[in-house]
Amino acid sequence: MTTKQRFRNKYRLQLREKDHEPMHVHLVGGDVNAKFDLITLTLLAGSLPVDLKKEVTDWLRDNQASLIEEWKTWQQ
Protein backbone atom coordinates (compact mmCIF):
# COMPACT_ATOMS: atom_id res chain seq x y z
CA MET A 1 0.00 0.00 0.00
CA THR A 2 1.24 3.45 -0.79
CA THR A 3 -0.12 6.86 0.06
CA LYS A 4 -0.31 8.88 -3.14
CA GLN A 5 -1.67 12.14 -1.71
CA ARG A 6 -2.75 13.68 1.59
CA PHE A 7 -5.73 15.99 1.86
CA ARG A 8 -6.20 18.46 4.71
CA ASN A 9 -3.53 16.71 6.81
CA LYS A 10 -6.18 14.15 7.75
CA TYR A 11 -7.09 12.03 4.73
CA ARG A 12 -4.82 9.70 2.75
CA LEU A 13 -5.39 8.56 -0.82
CA GLN A 14 -4.01 5.04 -1.08
CA LEU A 15 -3.16 2.71 -3.91
CA ARG A 16 -3.02 -0.90 -2.76
CA GLU A 17 -1.08 -3.76 -4.27
CA LYS A 18 -2.84 -6.95 -5.38
CA ASP A 19 -6.21 -5.21 -5.20
CA HIS A 20 -9.34 -6.33 -7.06
CA GLU A 21 -11.06 -4.86 -10.10
CA PRO A 22 -12.29 -2.32 -10.96
CA MET A 23 -9.21 -0.10 -10.83
CA HIS A 24 -9.65 2.09 -7.79
CA VAL A 25 -8.03 4.01 -4.94
CA HIS A 26 -9.00 4.31 -1.29
CA LEU A 27 -9.47 7.50 0.71
CA VAL A 28 -9.10 6.92 4.43
CA GLY A 29 -8.77 9.03 7.54
CA GLY A 30 -10.95 10.29 10.35
CA ASP A 31 -14.40 8.84 9.78
CA VAL A 32 -13.87 8.52 6.00
CA ASN A 33 -13.35 5.17 4.30
CA ALA A 34 -14.20 5.64 0.63
CA LYS A 35 -13.27 4.11 -2.71
CA PHE A 36 -13.01 5.90 -6.09
CA ASP A 37 -13.03 4.27 -9.52
CA LEU A 38 -9.91 5.28 -11.47
CA ILE A 39 -11.61 5.15 -14.87
CA THR A 40 -14.86 7.02 -14.17
CA LEU A 41 -13.61 8.89 -11.06
CA THR A 42 -16.92 8.08 -9.36
CA LEU A 43 -17.35 7.20 -5.73
CA LEU A 44 -17.76 3.41 -5.51
CA ALA A 45 -18.17 3.03 -1.75
CA GLY A 46 -18.31 5.11 1.39
CA SER A 47 -19.25 8.72 1.90
CA LEU A 48 -17.45 11.99 2.48
CA PRO A 49 -18.24 15.70 2.62
CA VAL A 50 -19.13 17.24 -0.75
CA ASP A 51 -16.26 19.75 -0.67
CA LEU A 52 -13.72 17.02 0.10
CA LYS A 53 -15.16 14.83 -2.66
CA LYS A 54 -14.67 17.66 -5.17
CA GLU A 55 -11.11 18.26 -3.97
CA VAL A 56 -10.23 14.56 -4.28
CA THR A 57 -11.97 14.15 -7.65
CA ASP A 58 -10.15 17.18 -9.07
CA TRP A 59 -6.80 15.76 -7.89
CA LEU A 60 -7.66 12.33 -9.33
CA ARG A 61 -8.56 13.90 -12.69
CA ASP A 62 -5.19 15.68 -12.81
CA ASN A 63 -3.29 12.49 -11.93
CA GLN A 64 -5.51 9.84 -13.49
CA ALA A 65 -3.13 8.53 -16.17
CA SER A 66 -0.21 7.98 -13.80
CA LEU A 67 -2.43 6.38 -11.16
CA ILE A 68 -3.85 3.92 -13.71
CA GLU A 69 -0.37 2.97 -14.87
CA GLU A 70 0.81 2.49 -11.30
CA TRP A 71 -2.30 0.46 -10.43
CA LYS A 72 -1.58 -1.88 -13.34
CA THR A 73 2.04 -2.30 -12.22
CA TRP A 74 1.02 -3.16 -8.65
CA GLN A 75 -1.39 -5.88 -9.86
CA GLN A 76 1.23 -7.98 -11.70
pLDDT in tens for each of the 76 residues of the chain?
689 999 999 999 999 888 888 999 999 999 999 999 999 999 999 999 999 999 999 999 999 999 999 999 988 7
pLDDT at position 17: 87
Distance CA 48, CA 71 (A): 23
- pLDDT of amino acid 75: 83
Domain ranges of the chain: 2-74
φ, ψ dihedrals at 57, nearest 5°? -60, -40
**Exposed/middle/buried for 66, CB within 10 Å: 0-12, 13-18, 19+?**
exposed
